[in-house]
């Protein structure tokens, strides 16, 4: 049977297709239950074609994770506004970042499943996220507030990251709420109730 380049074929298109199908399958079935044969079948190419564009299954998976992290990090690391010290500034920045995060995630739901929930890299992503939140608190000089409420900052931030993670999974990715809505509710839950009062509890 005929071999060689398919009519109308185009390298970039094949690569793109493989990438899409890979993301889809990895996100649905996980790394181990997604076989290269599944991916190429879905992309309607043959196995060697896969190796034309990707070094290995592993390296593709890593690429996908890095790709997710790049978008993620961008949002978390660049502060688009100037920093206003104090709780209000923190809340505003958090709200903004989380909204951006949620938008990004909704734009890349499958990549998110991989990069935030399934891969081993996700562990790193989440602990980085934790660190970044801690940094933000320090940046806004808000440690003392937590202390005055007798809340361990690490516990608070871990809790927050956990909430974020779970709400992304159960509510955002399930499209039960809009990014903006959900971000507001999460922030409300953590900040507005408690910190809307003027004084700390005795």
Partner DNA sequence: TATGAATGAGAATTCATTCAT
Partner DNA sequence: AATGAATGAATTCTCATTCAT
Residue 200 has, within 13 A of its CA and on its CB side, a CA count of: 9
Residue 94 has, within 13 A of its CA and on its CB side, a CA count of: 34
Tell me the three state secondary structure of residue 81.
coil
Question: Computed from CA positions of residues 109, 111, 114, 116, in that sequence, does the dihedral angle turn out positive or negative?
Answer: negative
Query: How many Cβ atoms from other residues are within 10 Å of residue 196's Cβ?
Result: 9
160 binds its own copies (CB under 8 A): yes
13's contact among DNA, its own copies, none, with CB below 5 to 8 A by partner kind, is: DNA
51 binds DNA (CB under 7 A): yes
Which of 20, 42, 57, 139: binder of DNA (CB under 7 A)? 57
16 binds its own copies (CB under 8 A): no
Q: Which helix (H) or strand (E) holds 18?
A: helix 11-29
185's contact among DNA, its own copies, none, with CB below 5 to 8 A by partner kind, is: its own copies
Which of 23, 167, 173, 187: binder of its own copies (CB under 8 A)? 167
189's contact among DNA, its own copies, none, with CB below 5 to 8 A by partner kind, is: its own copies
Contact 87, 142 (CB under 8 A): yes
Nearest 5°: the CA angle 170, 167, 88 is 160
Instruction: Give the footprint of its own copies on this chain (CB under 8 A).
Output: 31-32, 126-127, 130, 149-152, 154-156, 158-167, 170-171, 176-177, 182, 185-186, 188-189, 192-194, 196-197, 201
Instruction: Give the footprint of DNA on this chain (CB under 7 A).
Output: 1-14, 34-37, 45-52, 56-58
């Amino acid at each position: 049977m005929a071999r060689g380049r398919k009519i109308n074929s185009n390298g970039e298109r094949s690569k793109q297709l493989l990438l899409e199908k890979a993301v889809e399958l990895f996100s649905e079935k996980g790394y181990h239950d997604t076989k290269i044969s599944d991916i190429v079948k879905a992309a309607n190419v043959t196995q060697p074609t896969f190796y034309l564009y990707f070094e290995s299954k592993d390296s593709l998976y890593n690429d996908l994770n890095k790709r997710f992290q790049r978008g993620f990090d961008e949002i978390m690391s660049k502060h688009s506004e100037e920093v206003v010290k104090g709780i209000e500034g923190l809340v505003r920045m958090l709200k903004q970042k989380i909204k951006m995060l949620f938008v990004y995630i909704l734009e890349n739901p499958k990549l998110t499943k991989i990069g935030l929930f399934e891969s081993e890299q996700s562990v790193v992503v989440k602990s980085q996220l934790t660190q970044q939140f801690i940094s933000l608190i320090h940046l806004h000089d808000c440690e003392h507030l937590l202390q005055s409420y007798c809340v361990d900052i690490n516990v608070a931030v871990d809790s927050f990251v956990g909430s974020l993670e779970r709400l992304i999974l159960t509510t955002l990715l399930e499209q039960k709420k809009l990014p903006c809505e959900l971000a507001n509710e999460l922030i409300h839950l953590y900040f507005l109730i408690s910190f809307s009062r003027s004084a700390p509890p005795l």
